[in-house]
């Protein structure tokens, strides 16, 4: 049974990394939001599985929060914003997709090489989990760096945060209150960013953050 | 009531006076009288109580007040060393307050001086009383900030603002060094009380490091070259009574900090560290006085002369350290006592000279010596006391400056007893530098006195000058009398200082007062003795004899005739010696080395009636070689880093990302 439980949680966490890679090459915002919803779904599944095998009921709450907020509410709200802003047809490319994917692979290799060595005396499940979680965090950061659109940066931030939740779920004994507060802070960040998006849009007729630099007088 | 309680009460009274100063600043006359009058009274009480504790040789007392850090409290203690420095601080404070009762009338911004002046006094008292690192540093910073506020009193002049800025920078640097030193002293146990630090053992490298940090921290406050740059800017910028306090007293408080840590808290020193102290002191003394010689601003000249005296004090500190490290108890006690004596003397005559400079400033409105002259006719009392101060600071008998420097040289002469060859060579070399400084100091004060008070008035302001008020005169006459007293009866002062040396070094000089004819014999009759009374009597008798002889033997009738004008018959006062002219020979000898001095003469072509111009170029090498590159480096780095403030959002994100990945890579490669 242990072997199967391990394999399933391993494949769920690996699936989260895979979906992070999928996000990297989405160049349309609508499809990006779909992939992000999938990302959150994977996270919810992984956390729920952890709750099951760790026999920790409070992790179900975390999984539910991930499912409701991240897989449903936030993608739907972001989609509405995108349509409202009229940028659902926009294509954004900053760095070539091939390069980004290569960099992403490098990051995953780095985090695996590092985490497996650093956590040599932790139990196998937590090691794998932490390695994947770090990969997801780094990929989220890479995603934020390579995108120019404010909406995709928000999505990158959310996926990064998913990686944190995955790490937290893997580490046994994480108190519920921490998870709930993290979830709420993400929600509030989402609200704030949503408002800021509209403000940016109002000012500059675009949510391309490079417009902000123009207004600061950095570039003409 | 114990002396310590009296001292703490006086500090509280000074702080209350500062509050009164805030309230009374609206009415200048009332404010001046109340603040300076109260400060003078409180300082006198503190002075009497501290002097009593020192002379009665009271055992060390300690009080813990529930202030400051909750687990530490504020420790205050009174032992012979702090009692002596309290005497210095409060004597200076009482004199300066008395002086300011009259001088403060000329203050045009009393609301900027009155609140901070008593606070500054309280801060200096607190530093000397503090007996744990926290209270010490807090009082130290309080003292620095209060004096900074006083430096900035006349902040409308750009030069004063610059002085305040440089002062603030150097003060923060100094406090940082002290902070590190006390951190090392407290060690991992983290007990910041002086009593605990004293008992704890210190590793040799920690002791050396602490000594170096103290040299930087206390040295920057005292004005050790090359940390002196703020001193000649800040000391003259303040009102004169504050200049006197900063130069005469605050530098001594810094020296107190050094003594307290190095001689009291650290324990047995290593001989090599004494070499560093000697070297710093030996360089500081002649450089300081050379700066003073090049100066024509009277107050700045006095400030530079303070640097010289701090150098002398540090030389004798280094001597005491060297002897103490080799267990030569008696010479160590000699050097230590000589240093304390010089601390006391310098606080007296430097206050006196700054009061005199302030009197000249208030009477003429001038600090530039090249516009003064002939004041001896207009201000007879001031010029006599200024002369006393000049003779004392030039280390001439029968005044006190001679005695302390003579004692220091006696200690220098004991250097062959030292076993280390490095010190055997270094100490006489430093002694030679000190002798050079002493000779240059005499030249410097001949210049200061001669140009300012003798000759004929060089400017219109001088010819209308008149003598200053009675308070100022009294404040100048008292230290002048004390200078004479300590010079004629040095044995009494040395005996008062002896318990401090026996407290810290474990040995003391033999009692001097029972000796016949009030001589002083620091070590042994064969090694040197001095009798101030005899020298004074000789000077008086020989001077009167020559006066009488001249009156009797020269032609009795006074004739008035044209003075021989050295072939220069135009009687304009500008034809007299100027300050720069007087210093010219010394500038020729030392200036090229120390200041890269150049004289440039521009001659108009024949037929042109423009005057020829002599331009003197001096470079402050310490500033140009050390501080200017440092400042440029910091500004350059700041400008370059400033671009980091203006990155794009993606730029910042990339920065975070790259940093994170780099750190992870480092970790991956490392483990």
> Is a pLDDT exceeding 90 seen at residue B180?
yes
Residue of A nearest to B666 (CA): A114
Q: Does A148 touch chain B (CB under 8 A)?
A: yes
Q: Nearest CB to A141: which of B646, B660, B667?
A: B660
Tens digits of residue pLDDT in B311-348: 999 999 999 999 998 888 889 999 999 999 999 999 99
Whether residue A211 is contained in a domain is answered as: yes
| B134-159 average pLDDT score | 93
In a domain, B165, yes or no: no
Question: What are the b/e assignments for B339-373, b being 16+ CB within 10 Å?
Answer: bbbbbbbbbbbbbbbbbbbbbbbbbbebbebbbbb
Q: Is residue A52 part of a domain?
A: yes
> Is the CB of residue B122 less than 8 Å from the CB of residue B15?
yes
Please tell me the number of Cα atoms within 13 Å of B145 on its side-chain side: 9
Residues of chain B with Cβ-Cβ distance to A210 below 8 Å are 648, 650
Token pair of B341 as six digits: 């004596």
User: Nearest-CA neighbor of B117 among B1, B245, B212, B23?
Assistant: B245
Residue B65: what are its φ and ψ, rounded to 5°? -100, 145
Q: Is residue B665 part of a domain?
A: yes
Q: In which domain, by residue range, is A139 found?
A: 2-215
- Within 8 A by CB and 6+ apart from B113, the residues are B104, B107, B150, B153, B239, B242
Q: Could you tell me the two tokens for B567?
A: 């072939």
Domain-located, residue A141: yes
Paired with B62 in beta bridges are B77
Contact A209 B649 (CB under 8 A): yes
The answer to the question of residue B634 being in a domain is yes
CB of A179 within 8 A of CB of A168?
yes
d(C-alpha A200, C-alpha B646), whole Å: 19
Q: Considering its fold, how many domains does chain A have in total?
A: 1
ipTM field: 0.82
Q: Between B182 and B528, whose confidence is greater?
A: B182
Q: Which of A114, A118, A145 has its CB closest to that of B650?
A: A145
Confirm or reject contact between A215 and chain B (CB < 8 A).
no
| pLDDT tens for each residue of B361-408 | 999 988 888 888 889 988 999 999 999 999 999 999 889 999 999 999
Contacts 24+ apart (CB under 8 A), B51-59: B51/B83, B51/B87, B52/B3, B53/B3, B53/B4, B53/B78, B53/B80, B53/B83, B54/B80, B54/B83, B54/B84, B54/B87, B54/B496, B54/B499, B55/B496, B57/B499, B58/B2, B58/B3, B58/B83
Count the Cβ atoms, other than its own, within 10 Å of residue A209: 19
pLDDT bracket for residue B247 (50, 70, 90): very high
What domain count does chain B have? 2
Does residue B543 fall inside a structural domain? Answer: no
B610 within some domain: yes
Which domain-ending residue is among B576, B598, B619? B619
Q: Quick one: pLDDT at residue A1?
A: 47
pLDDT tens, position by position, B445-466:
999 999 999 888 888 878 788 8
> Does a structural domain hold residue A163?
yes
B654, B615: one domain: no
- Position A43 in a domain: yes
Name which of A111, A117, A218 is nearest B646 (Cβ-Cβ): A218
Provide the residue-wise pLDDT of chain A in tens; the chain has 220 residues: 467 888 888 889 899 999 999 998 888 888 889 999 999 999 999 988 888 888 878 788 888 888 888 888 888 988 888 888 777 777 766 678 888 899 999 999 998 888 888 777 777 777 778 888 889 989 998 988 888 777 888 888 888 888 888 887 776 666 666 666 676 677 667 767 766 776 666 666 666 766 666 666 554 4
Locate the chain B residue with the closest alpha carbon to A142.
Answer: B657
Q: Residue B39 pLDDT > 80, yes or no?
A: yes
Contact (CB<8Å) B653/A145: yes
Domain interval for residue B665 = 622-670
Instruction: In whole angstroms, give the CA distance from residue B596 to residue B294.
Output: 12
Answer yes or no: is A220 within a domain.
no
Neighbour-count burial for B27-62, b at 16+ CB within 10 Å, e otherwise: ebeebbebbbebbbebbbbbbebbbebbeeebebee
- Please indicate, yes or no, whether residues B626 and B666 belong to a single structural domain of this protein: yes
- Asked if the structure places residue B635 within a domain, the reply is yes
């Amino acid at each position: 049974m242990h072997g199967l439980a391990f394999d399933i949680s391993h494949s769920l966490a690996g699936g989260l990394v895979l979906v992070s890679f999928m996000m990297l090459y989405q160049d349309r915002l609508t499809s990006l939001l779909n992939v992000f919803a999938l990302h959150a779904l994977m996270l919810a599944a992984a956390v729920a599985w952890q709750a099951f095998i760790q026999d920790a009921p409070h992790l179900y709450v975390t999984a539910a929060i991930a499912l409701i907020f991240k897989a449903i509410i936030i993608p739907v709200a972001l989609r509405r914003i995108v349509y409202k802003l009229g940028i659902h047809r926009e294509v954004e490319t900053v760095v070539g997709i091939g390069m980004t994917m290569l960099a992403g692979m490098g990051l995953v290799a780095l985090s695996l090489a590092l985490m497996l060595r650093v956590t040599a005396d932790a139990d196998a499940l937590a090691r794998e989990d932490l390695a994947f979680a770090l990969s997801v965090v780094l990929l989220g950061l890479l995603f934020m760096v390579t995108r120019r659109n404010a909406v995709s940066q928000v999505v990158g931030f959310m996926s990064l945060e998913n990686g944190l939740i995955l790490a937290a779920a893997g580490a046994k004994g994480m108190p519920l209150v921490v998870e709930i507060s993290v979830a709420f802070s993400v929600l509030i960040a989402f609200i704030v960013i949503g408002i800021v998006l509209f403000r940016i849009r109002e000012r500059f007729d675009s949510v391309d953050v490079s417009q902000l630099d123009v207004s600061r007088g950095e570039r003409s | 009531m114990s002396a310590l309680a009296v001292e703490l009460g006086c500090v509280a009274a000074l702080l209350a006076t500062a509050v009164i100063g805030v309230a009374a600043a609206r009415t200048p006359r009332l404010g001046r009288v109340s603040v300076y009058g109260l400060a003078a009274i409180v300082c006198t009480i503190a002075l009497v109580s501290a002097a009593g504790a020192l002379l009665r040789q009271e055992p060390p007392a300690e009080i813990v007040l529930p202030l400051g850090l909750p687990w530490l409290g504020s420790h205050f203690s009174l032992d012979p060393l702090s009692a002596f420095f309290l005497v210095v601080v409060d004597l200076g404070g009482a004199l300066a307050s008395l002086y300011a009762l009259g001088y403060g009338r000329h203050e045009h911004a009393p609301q900027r001086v009155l609140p901070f002046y008593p606070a500054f006094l309280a801060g200096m008292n607190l530093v000397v009383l503090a007996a744990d690192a926290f209270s010490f540093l807090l009082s130290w910073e309080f003292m620095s900030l209060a004096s900074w506020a006083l430096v900035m009193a006349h902040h409308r002049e750009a030069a004063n603002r610059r002085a305040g800025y440089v002062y603030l920078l150097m003060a923060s640097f100094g406090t940082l060094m002290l902070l590190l030193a006390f951190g090392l002293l407290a060690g991992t146990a983290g007990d910041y009380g002086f009593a605990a630090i004293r008992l704890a053992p210190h590793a040799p490298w920690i002791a050396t490091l602490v000594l170096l940090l103290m040299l930087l921290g206390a040295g920057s406050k005292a004005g050790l070259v090359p940390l002196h740059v703020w001193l000649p800017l800040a000391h003259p910028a303040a009102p004169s009574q504050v200049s006197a306090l900063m130069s005469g007293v605050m530098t001594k408080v810094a020296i107190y900090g050094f003594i307290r840590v190095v001689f009291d808290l650290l324990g047995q020193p290593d001989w090599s560290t004494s070499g560093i102290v000697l070297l710093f002191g030996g360089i500081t003394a002649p450089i300081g006085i050379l700066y003073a010689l090049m100066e024509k601003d009277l107050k700045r000249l006095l400030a530079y002369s303070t640097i010289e005296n701090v150098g002398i004090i540090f030389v004798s500190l280094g001597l005491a350290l060297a002897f103490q490290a080799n267990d030569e108890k008696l010479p160590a006690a000699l050097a230590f006592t000589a240093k304390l004596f010089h601390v006391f003397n310098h606080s007296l005559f430097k206050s006196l000279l700054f009061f005199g400079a302030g009197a000249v400033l208030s009477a003429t409105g001038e600090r530039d010596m090249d516009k003064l002259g002939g004041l001896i006719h207009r201000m007879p009392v001031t010029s006599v006391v200024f002369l006393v101060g000049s003779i004392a600071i030039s280390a001439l008998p029968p005044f006190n400056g001679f005695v302390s420097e003579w004692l220091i040289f006696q200690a220098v002469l004991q250097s062959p007893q030292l076993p280390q060859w490095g010190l055997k060579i270094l100490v006489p070399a430093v002694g030679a530098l000190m002798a050079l400084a002493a000779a240059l100091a005499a030249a410097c004060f001949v210049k200061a006195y001669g140009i300012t008070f003798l000759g004929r008035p060089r400017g219109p302001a001088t010819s209308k000058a008149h003598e200053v008020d009675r308070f100022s005169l009294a404040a100048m006459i008292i230290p002048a009398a004390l200078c004479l007293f300590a010079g004629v009866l040095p044995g009494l002062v040395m005996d008062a200082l002896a318990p401090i040396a026996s407290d810290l070094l474990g040995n003391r000089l033999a009692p001097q007062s029972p000796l016949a004819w009030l001589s002083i014999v620091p070590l042994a009759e064969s090694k040197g003795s001095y009798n101030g009374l005899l020298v004074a009597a000789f000077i008086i008798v020989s001077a009167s004899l020559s006066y009488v002889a001249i009156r009797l033997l020269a032609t009795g009738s006074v004739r008035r005739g044209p003075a021989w004008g050295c072939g220069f018959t135009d009687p304009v006062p500008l034809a007299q010696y100027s300050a720069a002219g007087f210093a010219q020979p010394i500038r020729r000898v030392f200036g090229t080395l120390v200041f890269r001095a150049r004289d440039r003469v521009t001659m108009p072509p024949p037929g042109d009636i423009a005057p020829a111009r002599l331009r003197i170029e001096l470079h402050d090498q310490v500033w140009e070689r050390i501080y200017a590159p440092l400042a440029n480096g910091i500004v350059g780095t700041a400008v370059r880093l400033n671009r980091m403030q203006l990155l794009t959002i993606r730029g910042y994100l990339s920065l975070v990302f790259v940093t994170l990945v780099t750190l992870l890579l480092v970790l991956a490669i490392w483990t």
